[in-house]
Each structure stands twice: as C-alpha cells, then as structure tokens.
C-alpha cells in the first residue's frame, strides 16, 4: 500500500544494456506475513525484524500497512537468473532476521488463523488511510506480489494496460495462495482477492484513451476522496508512480520462488508481446468491465484447478487450457529474453504441484489443522520444503 514501494532505481549501466539489447527490465515486490514462532497467529513484530536485518538488505525491505507485514523489492534485472538470485537472497535473509526476532516469515495471501486485526504501522500516511477508510484490512494482513516491467514512455504504457486487461485473470488464478481465513476454508482459492476488493480503488484497470485520460481518472479519484494520492491507485495493472514501468499487481504472494519467477517471466513476456502489438497499431481487445470483473472473481474462486473465463468466447473453460494458451502466446518473447528454458521447467512444476491454494488444501487434508498449513508455508517460503 505504500506509495514509495517498488524496485530499486535502475542503474545507468543496466539501462544502457537493456536499450542496446532491446530487452525489458524486470523487478518483483513481495509482501509477507509475520507469524508467531509456536502458533499460526500473526505477530506484530515488524520493527523487531527490521532491527535484525543485515545492512546489505535494508534498502530492499519496507514496511507494509500492518505491523504483521513486511515487504521486499528486488533490484531491476535483465536476466531471470539474476532475479532468482536476488529474490532468494531477500527471502532467506528476511526469514533469518524474522527467526532472530522470534517469529517466522510466511508467504501467504491472507493470514489463515483466527485472531484480531493487527495494528497498523505508525506512519502518518497509514493513519490517514485508517481515518479515511476505516478497518478495510481484517485479520493480520493481505499480501500480494507485484511485477514491474519496463516501458518506453507513459503514453505507450497506457496502451499496454489496455491490451493487458483480458490476460490478467488467468495470471491471478496462477498466484492463488489464500484459501484459509479465520481458521476455515473459505471456498475461494484466493480469499485475499475478496478482502482486497473492499478498497474503493481496487479492481480491473478500465479502458483508457490516453495518458492524459489516465491522469484525469487519478485526479478524479483523489478529488472524490476514494484515494489519498496516486499510490492508492490499486488497479490490477497500473503505471508505477515512481519508475518507468507497468506494474502488474493483482496476484497473491506466491509460496515458492518457482511460482513467483514463472509469473514474473510470463508478465515480462506478455508486456513485450503487447508492446509489439501497440507498435503495430493493433487495437486492444474490447472487454466490458462487468465481464472482466466476473473473470477476476472466477480466478479468485477457482485458481488454476477449476475454470477461468475465456474472454475471447465469453465462456468458462478449464483454467489450465487458458494458461497454456498464454504461455504459447508469449513464447517468442520468452525466447528472446532468454527465459524460455527456465519458464518451461517452472510451468511444468506448477502444473504438477498445483497453485499455492491447492497445496495448502492438500496439507490441510493430510494433517487437519491450519497450524500445520502455516508450518508448511514457513518452510516453503524459506525454500526448505
């Protein structure tokens, strides 16, 4: 929720290399839950964790809205392998700091265990948000994943946003990682998505005529009081307020780096593919806002294990069929960016293992308690499961 979050600043050297190779840079933000060491309940320990961070990680770690949450932002990368190494270092270092503070780090979309809502971080902006919008974040906190992909300029970025709209529901389905809330199975693969929709500016990105139109919509939202500032534009894809990127932000935080890196690769491949369409003058698909909202609801409900909405035919189809079509659609750009081999392996792993929601439910079916699910998530977040 913090307007200042995002990948660290692109160095001149990396910008020059990206331009010379005609490649797009990539960055990832992940939000995590802090839980007690011996129970699945949220732990309001964010300051204690910050105090135990090694100096080399501090620039990449930020507060989130509630005191049970913490966020990381990777440096921009050209190679998926570099992003893997960066995110591994951040997850491992943050998990170590959490354990030194007597808590655990968990990559989950919404806190599974029952308990009171966590206190917000003591920051002026967050207090203003609570005063304006009330308690729209029940439980210990909702945690997402945001992918930043570079764009040449804001005007082109707006056209990319228009082309992205029909593809985001299946990406949302692939990240589904929050079936449990308040100690029970909600029936949704991503309950975080339903909690998140309480905020007035959350939802599918509308079709936009131009960057001027984009800015005017933001101004209207601020004027009406639905947003405090541009950082509260919580559309499922937006232009970053601080970086020359498109930010894809509708997904739950993924339990494993396998899942996160696959989604990052697909996001870059998709933006690169759509940039070619924008450059060729191809019109964006016409998709009504109600149908798009229905597709996102279906994604939150089913994940990849059920149905998703094919926005070409307006019919519900097996979600994995649409996921495969997306992979094939972006394959040339995966290849051009050097991501195809790794993305193919990661796609196979996701197909074999299922989404985070499916894996959580499998653990619950075997072990019978939300506490066991959180134990599994803590191990998976660190990469030891």
Helices assigned H by DSSP within 124-210: 124-133, 154-164, 168-175, 191-196
Residue recorded with tokens 């011996």 = 38
In the CATH hierarchy, which fold is given to the domain comprising 12-382?
Creatine Kinase; Chain A, domain 2 (3.30.590)
Inter-CA distances, 353 with 115, 259, 301, Å: 30, 10, 18
Q: What is the pTM of this model?
A: 0.96
Residue 346 contacts residue 73 (beta carbons within 8 Å): no
Instruction: Annotate 292-360 with DSSP letters as a single string.
Output: HHHHHHHHHHHTTSSEEEETTTTEEEEHHHHHHHHHHHHHHHHHHTT-HHHHHHHHHHHHHH--HHHHH
User: Distance (Å, rounded) from C-alpha 136 to C-alpha 244?
Assistant: 30
Q: Closest by alpha carbon to 143, among 65, 240, 87? A: 65
Q: What is the DSSP letter of 241?
A: S
Q: Closest by alpha carbon to 195, among 132, 125, 117, 105? A: 117
Q: Closest by alpha carbon to 104, among 140, 68, 71, 144? A: 68
What are the phi and psi torsion angles at 140 (to 5°)? -85, -5
Helix (H, G, I), strand (E, B) or coil at 121: coil
What digits encode the pLDDT tens for the residues 204-238? Answer: 999 999 999 999 999 999 999 999 999 999 999 99
User: Distance (Å, rounded) from C-alpha 190 to C-alpha 170?
Assistant: 13
Contacts of 124 (CB under 8 A, 6+ apart): none
Instruction: Annotate 326-338 with DSSP letters as a single string.
Output: HHHHHHHHHHHTT
Vertex 88, ends 84 and 93: CA angle to 5°?
Answer: 155
User: Distance (Å, rounded) from C-alpha 62 to C-alpha 72?
Assistant: 6
**Tens-level pLDDT at each residue, the chain (385 residues):** 654 455 656 788 888 898 889 999 999 999 999 999 999 999 999 999 999 999 999 999 999 999 999 999 999 999 999 999 999 999 999 999 999 999 999 999 999 999 889 999 999 999 999 999 998 999 999 999 999 999 999 999 999 999 999 999 999 999 999 999 999 999 999 999 999 999 999 999 999 999 999 999 999 999 999 999 999 999 999 999 888 999 999 999 999 999 999 999 999 999 999 999 999 999 999 999 999 999 999 999 999 999 999 999 999 999 999 999 999 999 999 999 999 999 999 999 999 999 999 999 999 999 889 999 999 999 999 987 7
Query: Up-side HSE of residue 80: CA atoms within 13 Å toward CB?
Result: 27
């Amino acid at each position: 929720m913090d307007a200042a979050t995002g990948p660290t600043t692109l160095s001149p050297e990396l910008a020059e290399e990206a331009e010379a190779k005609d490649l797009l840079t990539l960055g990832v933000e992940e939000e995590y839950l802090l839980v007690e060491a011996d129970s699945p309940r949220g732990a309001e320990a964010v300051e204690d964790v910050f105090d135990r961070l090694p100096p080399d990680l501090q620039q990449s770690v930020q507060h989130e809205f509630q005191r049970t949450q913490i966020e990381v932002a990777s440096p921009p990368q050209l190679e998926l392998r570099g992003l893997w190494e960066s995110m591994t270092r951040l997850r491992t270092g943050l998990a170590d700091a959490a354990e030194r503070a007597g808590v655990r780090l968990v990559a989950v979309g919404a806190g599974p265990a029952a308990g009171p809502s966590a206190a917000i971080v003591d920051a002026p902006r967050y207090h203003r948000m609570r005063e304006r919008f009330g308690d729209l974040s029940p439980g210990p906190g909702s945690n997402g994943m945001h992918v930043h992909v570079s764009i040449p300029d804001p005007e082109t970025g707006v056209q990319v946003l228009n082309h992205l709209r029909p593809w985001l529901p299946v990406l949302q389905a692939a990240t589904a990682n929050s079936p449990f809330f308040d100690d029970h199975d909600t029936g949704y693969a991503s309950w975080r998505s339903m909690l998140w929709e309480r905020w007035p500016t959350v939802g599918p990105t509308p079709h936009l005529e131009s960057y001027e139109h984009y800015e005017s919509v933001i101004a209207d939202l601020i004027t009406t009081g639905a947003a405090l500032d541009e950082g509260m534009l919580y559309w499922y894809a937006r232009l970053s307020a601080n970086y020359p990127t498109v930010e894809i932000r509708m997904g739950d935080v993924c339990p494993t780096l396998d899942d996160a890196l696959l989604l990052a690769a697909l996001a870059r491949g998709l933006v690169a593919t759509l940039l070619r369409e924008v450059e060729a003058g191809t019109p964006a698909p016409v998709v009504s806002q109600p149908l798009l909202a229905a597709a996102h609801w279906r994604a939150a409900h089913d994940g990849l294990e059920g149905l998703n909405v094919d926005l070409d035919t307006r019919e519900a189809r097996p979600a994995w069929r649409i996921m495969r079509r997306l992979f094939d659609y972006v394959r040339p750009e995966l290849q051009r960016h050097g991501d195809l081999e790794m993305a193919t392996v990661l796609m196979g792993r996701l197909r074999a293992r299922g989404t985070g929601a499916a894996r959580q439910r499998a653990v619950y079916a075997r072990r019978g308690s939300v506490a066991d699910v959180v134990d599994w998530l803590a191990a998976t977040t660190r990469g030891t499961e």
